[in-house]
Structure 1
Amino acid sequence: MNQETKSGQIFDLPTLKRLYTFVGPYKKQFYLLIFIIMVSAVLAPVIPLLIKYTIDEPIANSNYDQLALMLGIMIVVLVVQGLVQFVNTYLSGWLGQYIIRDIRVQLYEKIVNLRLKFFDNTPIGRLVTRTISDIETLSNVFSDGMAAIAGDILQLVLIISVMFYTDWKLSLISLSMIPLMLFSTYVFKEKIKDAFNEVRAAVSNLNSFVQEHITGMSIVQIFSSEKIEYEKFREINVQHRDSNIRSILYYSIYFPVADVIAAAGTGLVVWYGSKQILNYEVTFGTVTAFVMFINLFFRPIRQLADRFNTLQMGIVSTDRILKLLDSDEYTANEGTHNPDTIKGNVEFKNVWFAYNDEDYVLKDINFKVNEGETVAFVGATGAGKSSIINLLSRFYDINKGNIYIDDVEVHDFELGALRRNIGVVLQDVFLFSDTIENNIRLGNPDITHEKIIEAAKLVGVHEFIERLPGGYEYNVMERGSTLSVGQRQLISFVRAMVHDPRIIVLDEATSSVDTETEELIQKAIEKLMEGRTAIVIAHRLSTIQEADKIIVVDKGEIKEEGTHEKLLEKNGFYANLYRMQYKDVLKIAG
């Protein structure tokens, strides 16, 4: 069953036990909440008993002094009840908010440490639902969940006990409507559970659709698909609306029905109690107390249906969140090798890799890059070039073979140490909605403003940045939308430089810039690569002709390797790529 629509068991003890481990740092507040709930339950039948006594004694005997005393006691009890209710409401909400804060932080920490394969298989909208909506549901578990249910049940037990102690005949009459109330509550609970499942699925669909289409809005507008996408959104929104209206319908039916049942119970008590009063078998105060008992009794029963659904939804959300927190399938295993720096020797030995564990995109890859060398990978789109650098940085893990850096297997590296020493400039540049300086620094306190300026001057973008409003404090907006493709590329290059990696990876780093910008990058590359290992992936063969070694990849296999001149002499794959790329120039030269 789809995770977004499946229901949970109300008393899923393993999940509840795990959920309440998050209470650990707040045990004092939690136990105080339990105590307050118990006090609230104990105070519930006190007022009806006081009113019974007041009617039967001070009022019946015209004892004004005793009446004033009883009124004073009732006022004190009401004030105490109000204070207890305030503490109960505030403390349960406080506890819920602190706990979901902790869970949300843990969940986000888990997400940022997952391998990219997880994000390939999981819609972003679903992760948004996990991090926002599902966790928000958990706050209700602590404010209206097990503790509140226990309080309601305790209140019911106390009220029934007091009722039977006071008058067992009136108690039986009062409780005669209980089977009907329990039946209607059960039906409501089942119906509202299905409605909530539909609402949750609709929310997840909305999150996924909105996130995906806002991110890809340029494609929607380029292909004039606004009306088509609008109709899709309208349909999803209609499903969301209908699901919510269905839940509203069940609420609008249940609570009036519950009120009618409670009123019928009250009517029976008044009818039977009046006869008993006339026959002098019970007092007027007793009947009055029972009328109040009925209201106190049926109120928690009505609330229990809602609380059980809240708990059930919380169990489902908790189960999904815990599965994500506990998942090791996509977690990059942490090694222990944590060197301050590396030399930069890279070796792939018999490496096989598949994104879906079936269709290999890399087959028996073997190559070695010595410290300080520049190696370029060329090949057609989909040949597997980008997959090689993804494996080097452990964005994905290989299926077979070994990858070594300085003769140490990459899995033995502490992941942060590995990636700290590998600087990557990707073809698709991502900039956060923040200042240029923060996009370059990425929160690293060791990178000073002076170091950023130095790197920007090296790349040749310092003057361009200074011309922007605010200079390095200029906000590039989401994904760097206020900058050109070439400007974003240059900033990402500065970002790689300031982190001072020992291995530089350029994945189509100059494919999206004009000739003038490419010349700036090429000059910066020459300075950056001094004393560093460089791995370059490019379609423009002109950018890699000076590489120490060129490796030709085709359909996941290495076909050729050597220098530019030697590969041309072989007249093989590389020579064919060269002729195809420079056919117009060669025609003119010929």
Structure 2
Amino acid sequence: MNNEQFEPQQTPVKGGTGKRLLQYGLLYKKTIIIALIFLIIAVCAEIVGPLIAKRMIDQHISGINQTWYYVEEGTAEAVPYQGQWLVRQDKLETNAAVLGSAEFEQKGLTFTMVQDNGQRTDLTKEELYQFYKPEIKPIIHLSGLYLALLAVSAIFIYIQRLLLQNAANRIVQKLRHDVYAHTQRLPVKYYDHYAAGQIVSRVTNDTEAIRELYVGVIANFSMGIVYIVAIFGAIFVMDTTLGFITLPLIPILLLWIYVYRRYAAKYNRVLRAKLSEINGTVNESIQGMTIIQAFRKEEAMEKEFSELNSYYFKFQNKMLSLNSLTSHNLLNVIRNIIYVVVIVLFFTNQFAEAITVGLLFAYIDYLNRMFNPIVGIVNQLSNLEVARVSAERVFKLMDEPGMEVEEESMPRYRGDVAFNKVSFAYKDKEYVLKDINFAAQQGETIALVGHTGSGKSSILNLLFRFYDIEEGSITIDGVDIRNYSKQQIREHMGIVLQDPFLFTGTIASNVSLNNPDIPRERIEQALKDVGAYDMFMQLPDGLDTIVIEKGSTLSAGQRQLISFARALAYDPAILILDEATASIDTETEAMIQSALDVLKRGRTTFVIAHRLSTIRAADQILVLDRGVIVERGNHDQLMEQQGKYYLMYQLQAGTGAGTVPV
């Protein structure tokens, strides 16, 4: 039931997963480059903030703690104090006359002036204000600049995210379109080995995981890398020693990513494979719910699903443990260790006079800012691994050999079909057809009969090129069908299956399959030709009656009649009826039999039928047994031979003339 089993080591898809994801990203490289430029501008604007704060603290707030010099009245930048004038050390002009010096000591909110002669005087609020007054205007200007830079950063970050996520959505839209388009190119035999839910999981769940790669992972990684590089640059510009103290964060982060990916990749492969199997099981259960309930298999199906679910739960817990172990809490520990080291060095004066309060504030601010993008990167590691494994699965599907869908048409052929020494095996050397030879002329009806597994459907599969032969040749109008594309061959073929498939839409759209070349008049005529027009017109909405998935609201006979009309609306040169009347009651069959007799004229018709009474008028009847044509001829000829066909016909007629394995 579940064909897609987990393989610990999957063969890498050709071209490399990362390279192919990059190729999709390059489709919108202009948008991405513009977004990255906007990101760099935003980060630079934001990174200037702590430098402004450092300047405000060191020069305008803590500057009072520098040495002050008594100068003459009128000296630039001088501050009045008790009839005297003082200038701060960093503002003192080189040619100014110095009359003395003083320093400030601060205890709580009390400031004390200490003269160079040792005299100490506590300052009143009014006196203290005089020393801070010249700094108010620069502080306001710097604060305004800081707010302006924050606004610029916010605007550019918004535009950057908008551009990047728009590009990401377009990339995944293109990828999902390519994956779905490739499913249309895959041969029918591919779908024989996979449950529908497993393929659906790749087109939906796996591409959605890849979307998160472009929308979340790349956005966070690009932003994080730009932030980290910019902040490290700013720290080294402020103080080289602090830069080297912080530098070990880079190898720690790289080691962290390496260890996480090593284990996460293994777990995610299991999770994606099992999720695909779960989807396949659910899809299969829904499709076969009638059988499940009819045979009371609810508990068995629930048990099977529970086993898959438990296995999935087990590995989800492993991923949870891994994520918890390598969560951002570990980053907080590392950050706090760096804080302790820097603060201890600061208070033990290991930095001499190089580290100021403003520099320490800016460094801690930068460190906090740097850890936010690092946390963002770490939190996206799980999404990165999920996306990478999902991409492997998607590209593995896309690497399956497919056929190009060609739009080029070919003129309608006559329909003369010939099989020449055709042998075919679905598996190596296990032949289901052996040395098949026959010819069908335009307008002839060829009936294929035989027991189950005799090769009847295989002949039609080869004619439709659902599978390609390796031995012999099949020709249409004398030309090997391999000389045409599969789409060109099928353009003038029509098929009606035993179990017709209807799509969500209307009765009319199911006849035309939304082909703009088939007008409403031809749809109506096709339904009239099969005798179904009046039946469907009695419905409330007529031919516009809504048909849900698989046409479950219609009877089996109604679905089959729509399938007949669909084939006829396309006016095929070759018409194939594969057990087409098996689901139709005797009355309905009689209704369309006369119409079919008319519609077969001018067309080469192949009929597979177990109900032998429906093929009495066939021009040729081929009797197959274990992949070999054992009898051929029309009905009367085969009855005269009294072989396998005679026995089958007598058995169905109820005469009891003999038995035959059917």
Alignment TM-score, normalising by the size of structure 1: 0.91
Give the alignment partner of residue 324 of structure 1, picking from 370, 389, 397.
397
Give the alignment partner of residue 334 of structure 2, picking from 261, 265, 268.
261
The 5-angstrom pairing of residues 177-576 of structure 1 reads 186-253=258-325, 254-276=327-349, 280-328=353-401, 331-332=402-403, 338-576=409-647
The Cα of 1:51 is off from its aligned counterpart by: 1.3
1:273 and 1:191, CA in 2 relative to 1: closer, same or farther beyond 3 A?
farther
The Cα of 1:279 is off from its aligned counterpart by: 6.4
Instruction: Give the CA RMSD over aligned residues.
Output: 2.8
Structure with higher RCO (Cα < 8 A, 6+ apart): 1
Write the letter of the residue equivalent to 1:230.
E
Distance in 2 (alpha carbons) for counterparts of 1:37 and 1:450: 59
Write the letter of the residue equivalent to 1:288.
F
Mapped contact 1:44–1:155 kept (Cα < 8 A): no
Match of 2:101 in 1: none
Task: Kindly tell me the number of residue pairs found equivalent between the two proteins.
Answer: 584
**Pair 1:52-2:54 in alignment:** yes
Distance in 1 (alpha carbons) for counterparts of 2:441 and 2:266: 62
Task: Say which is worse superposed, 238-247 or 445-454, in terms of deviation.
Answer: 238-247
Give the alignment partner of residue 183 of structure 2, picking from 93, 100, 111.
111
Mapped contact 2:265–2:389 kept (Cα < 8 A): no
Distance in 2 (alpha carbons) for counterparts of 1:56 and 1:146: 38
Match of 2:167 in 1: 95
Match of 1:70 in 2: 142
Distance in 2 (alpha carbons) for counterparts of 1:365 and 1:401: 9
Mapped contact 2:419–2:475 kept (Cα < 8 A): yes
The Cα of 1:370 is off from its aligned counterpart by: 0.6
Match of 2:32 in 1: 30
Stretches of structure 2 that go unaligned for 5 or more consecutive residues are 64-131
The Cα of 1:338 is off from its aligned counterpart by: 4.3
Distance in 2 (alpha carbons) for counterparts of 1:229 and 1:522: 42
The Cα of 1:26 is off from its aligned counterpart by: 2.3
Mapped contact 1:269–1:290 kept (Cα < 8 A): no
Write the letter of the residue equivalent to 1:528.
L
Question: What do residues 379-426 of structure 1 show as CA deviations (whole Å, max 9, x unaligned)?
Answer: 111101011111111111112111111111111223223112111101
Match of 1:125 in 2: 197
Distance in 1 (alpha carbons) for counterparts of 2:178 and 2:251: 45
The Cα of 1:54 is off from its aligned counterpart by: 1.4
The Cα of 1:307 is off from its aligned counterpart by: 4.2
Write the letter of the residue equivalent to 2:287.
T
Mapped contact 2:328–2:378 kept (Cα < 8 A): no
Write the letter of the residue equivalent to 1:433.
T
Write the letter of the residue equivalent to 1:80.
V
Distance in 1 (alpha carbons) for counterparts of 2:347 and 2:514: 77
Distance in 2 (alpha carbons) for counterparts of 1:266 and 1:44: 22
Question: What do residues 516-549 of structure 1 show as CA deviations (whole Å, max 9, x unaligned)?
Answer: 0111121221121122111111011100111111
Greater strand share, structure number: 2
Distance in 2 (alpha carbons) for counterparts of 1:337 and 1:321: 29
Distance in 1 (alpha carbons) for counterparts of 2:484 and 2:246: 71
Question: What do residues 1-55 of structure 1 show as CA deviations (whole Å, max 9, x unaligned)?
Answer: x886668999x98433333333454232121123233334434532222211111
**Larger-Rg structure:** 2
Distance in 1 (alpha carbons) for counterparts of 2:9 and 2:363: 39
Task: Say which is worse superposed, 182-191 or 195-204, in terms of deviation.
Answer: 182-191
Task: Say which is worse superposed, 331-340 or 546-555, in terms of deviation.
Answer: 331-340
Distance in 1 (alpha carbons) for counterparts of 2:348 and 2:146: 29
Stretches of structure 1 that go unaligned for 5 or more consecutive residues are none
The Cα of 1:585 is off from its aligned counterpart by: 7.5
Mapped contact 1:485–1:513 kept (Cα < 8 A): yes
Match of 1:170 in 2: 242
Write the letter of the residue equivalent to 1:467.
Q
Q: Secondary structure in 1 aligned to 2:192?
A: helix
The Cα of 1:572 is off from its aligned counterpart by: 1.4
The Cα of 1:146 is off from its aligned counterpart by: 5.2
Mapped contact 2:45–2:150 kept (Cα < 8 A): no
Q: Secondary structure in 2 aligned to 1:296?
A: helix
Match of 1:82 in 2: 154
Mapped contact 1:108–1:131 kept (Cα < 8 A): yes
1:281 and 1:586, CA in 2 relative to 1: closer, same or farther beyond 3 A?
closer
The Cα of 1:246 is off from its aligned counterpart by: 3.6
Write the letter of the residue equivalent to 2:501.
F
Mapped contact 1:339–1:417 kept (Cα < 8 A): yes
Match of 2:650 in 1: 579
Mapped contact 1:427–1:512 kept (Cα < 8 A): yes
Question: What do residues 142-177 of structure 1 show as CA deviations (whole Å, max 9, x unaligned)?
Answer: 234457535433432332232233223334444567
1:379 and 1:453, CA in 2 relative to 1: closer, same or farther beyond 3 A?
same
Write the letter of the residue equivalent to 2:163.
L
Mapped contact 1:567–1:574 kept (Cα < 8 A): yes
Distance in 1 (alpha carbons) for counterparts of 2:408 and 2:230: 62
Alignment TM-score, normalising by the size of structure 2: 0.82
The 5-angstrom pairing of residues 12-31 of structure 1 reads 14-31=16-33
Distance in 1 (alpha carbons) for counterparts of 2:562 and 2:254: 66
1:205 and 1:33, CA in 2 relative to 1: closer, same or farther beyond 3 A?
same
